[in-house]
Amino acid sequence: SQWGEENLQALSIQEGEDVTMNCSYKTYTTVVQWYRQKSGKGPAQLILIRSNEREKRSGRLRATLDTSSQSSSLSITGTLATDTAVYFCATTGTGGYKVVFGSGTRLLVSP
Partner 1 sequence: EAAVTQSPRNKVTVTGGNVTLSCRQTNSHNYMYWYRQDTGHGLRLIHYSYGAGNLQIGDVPDGYKATRTTQEDFFLLLELASPSQTSLYFCASSDAGEQYFGPGTRLTVL
Give contact residues for partner 1 (rule: CB under 8 A). 6-8, 31, 33, 35, 41-45, 48, 88, 90, 96-104
Pick between residue 80 and residue 99 the one whose CB is nearest to partner 1. Answer: 99
How far apart CA 4 and CA 12 sit, in angstroms, is 22
Q: Which is nearer to partner 1, 29 or 88 (CB)?
A: 88
For the bound state, the minimum distance from the C-beta of residue 65 to partner 1, rounded and expressed in Å, comes to 15
Shortest CB 29 distance to partner 1, Å: 13
Nearest approach in angstroms of CB 51 to partner 1 is 13
Q: Could you give the C-alpha distances from 75 to 2, 27, 79, 94, 98, in angstroms and in order?
A: 22, 23, 10, 26, 25
- Of 48, 94, 49, 47, nearest in space to 67 by CA: 49
